[in-house]
Amino acid sequence: MEKEFVLQMLEERQFKELKAELENMHPVDIAEMMEELEDKQMILIFRLLAKDEAAETFTEMNNDAREILLNALTDSEIKEVMDEMYLDDAVDVLEEMPANVVDRLLMATDEETRKQINTLLNYPEDSAGSIMNVEYIAFQKEMTVEEAILKIRQVGLNRETIYTCYVTEKRKLIGAVSLRELLTTGDNRTIEEIMETNMLYVHTHDDQEEVVGMISKYGLIAIPVVDNDMRMVGIVTVDDAIDVLEEETTEDISMMAGIVVPSEDSYFETSVWEHAKSRFPWLLFLMLSATLSGLVLGHFEAAIVAMPILNTFVTMLTGTGGNCGSQSSTLVIRGLATDEIEFKDIFKVLFKEIRVAALVGIMLAVVNGIRIVFMYHDVTLALSLGITLLFTVIIAKTIGCVLPLVAKKCGLDPALMAAPLITTLVDATTILVYFSIVTKIFGL
């Protein structure tokens, strides 16, 4: 709706009205709308935005839209946007841009900012340093509450968050004070009296997942980031934490589906070729591994020729095994991601899974047994399939729960040990168990 409205105003050249309309829109929504416009319209609208709104909108856009804009804007316009952007957002933009655009962007910033940007760009990818904000409020411990509030009132406007403030001494982090605390205590108390000295913090090189885990676990609005000498260098805010959380979830889920996790580009932004490249490796590996179950099946060729009906149950058995295994591995992978399960729980998990497997296996064997007796009037067949099912479910759930835990222990991502790999492993095992049982029972 909004898009049509904006386009109409653009066409009728009602720039003043459009400008007012845009001021009422949230930058997130402006960015979303602009991504759907033609290049020329997008540039026109961007130029109508107020300075700070333009910077925020630019931050929210996808890379394709950003590139189009940067190629159209003049150097002084770019400088305006860069000046208004928060440093951490500027760094995010730079990380995704081609080299020639990066140069132009860096040229548009003053030397001090450029230095800060370069420091931020040097933190390892996915580290606390790479997602932190370098703008925050720090007090000295000798300040009174009144002075602290005054300081916030003076500088607050330019800082991304003021709701948690920090106390530093020779740049070292020594305490934290929430704005709520400041506002609800006596004006004449000193910061030292009210500050929390036992505050939570992270190091610049800590993994972003860990940072987000702490923000989520303790319900924080922000967490300070310190270097190896406890010098405070920035904060990670909860809104950035949520973005990281969603990004990490997408990564985990993709990996669990056998997709080599590529860029941070979205589905549509990723080219067909990039998609193919990220999906091919696992497919290839799994296809070749499936040769194993093929060989096992080939080994029992004589039994199949002697009793062809046995073959019709193979997909049912491998399918059930695969599903059982991926149920277990999924629960364990998720438990590891949310810190509920640790490696030391391996026997607790195993014991639980085996009991669940026994229960589920028996239930499936009974239902399938009834079906077989009903369809084929063959109790021996029903019985051997039942035994196979029980074994399959137990083996599958054992493999499914143990592998992610072992992967974690070995420093691998547990999400690698998900459905695709488990299924392939379980396939071969299931076929082996199945034919070992039936060849014995039917004397093939």
Nearer to a copy of itself, 291 or 436 (CB): 291
Nearer to a copy of itself, 73 or 174 (CB): 174
Minimum distance from CB of 169 to a copy of itself (Å)?
20
Minimum distance from CB of 178 to a copy of itself (Å)?
10
Instruction: Give CA torsion, residues 64, 66, 69, 75, to 10 deg.
Output: -140
Minimum distance from CB of 313 to a copy of itself (Å)?
6
**Cα-Cα-Cα-Cα dihedral sign, residues 82, 87, 88, 92:** positive
Minimum distance from CB of 287 to a copy of itself (Å)?
5
Nearer to a copy of itself, 229 or 374 (CB): 374
Minimum distance from CB of 424 to a copy of itself (Å)?
6
Nearer to a copy of itself, 85 or 108 (CB): 85
β-pair type (232-237, 222-226): antiparallel
| CA–CA dist 283, 90 (Å, integer) | 37
Q: How many CB atoms lie within 10 A of CB 193?
A: 12
**Strand partners of residue 169:** 172
The answer to whether 388 touches 324, Cβ cutoff 8 Å, is no
The answer to whether 254 touches 266, Cβ cutoff 8 Å, is no
Q: Under DSSP, is residue 402 helix (H, G, I), strand (E, B) or coil?
A: helix
Of 197, 193, 191, whose CA–CA distance to 179 is shortest?
Answer: 191
Nearer to a copy of itself, 42 or 238 (CB): 238
Nearer to a copy of itself, 219 or 443 (CB): 219
Minimum distance from CB of 382 to a copy of itself (Å)?
14
Nearer to a copy of itself, 104 or 159 (CB): 159
Of 267, 220, 226, 269, whose CA–CA distance to 241 is shortest?
Answer: 220
The answer to whether 59 touches 85, Cβ cutoff 8 Å, is yes
Nearer to a copy of itself, 77 or 282 (CB): 282
Nearer to a copy of itself, 206 or 252 (CB): 252
Minimum distance from CB of 15 to a copy of itself (Å)?
21
Nearer to a copy of itself, 206 or 248 (CB): 248
Strand blocks (E) in 99-228: 138-139, 164-169, 172-178, 202-203, 222-226
Minimum distance from CB of 292 to a copy of itself (Å)?
9
Phi, psi of 237 (to 5 degrees): -100, 160
Residues found in the chain: 444
Minimum distance from CB of 168 to a copy of itself (Å)?
21
Q: What does the block give as tokens for 347? A: 């026997």
Minimum distance from CB of 127 to a copy of itself (Å)?
21
Q: In Å, how far from its chain's centre is CA 426?
A: 28
Instruction: Give CA torsion, residues 184, 187, 192, 196, to 10 deg.
Output: 10
Whole-angstrom CA distances from 423 to 19, 237, 286, 310, 316 are: 57, 40, 9, 21, 13
Q: How many CB atoms lie within 10 A of CB 223?
A: 24
User: Residue 167 corresponds to which amino acid?
Assistant: V
The answer to whether 127 touches 135, Cβ cutoff 8 Å, is no
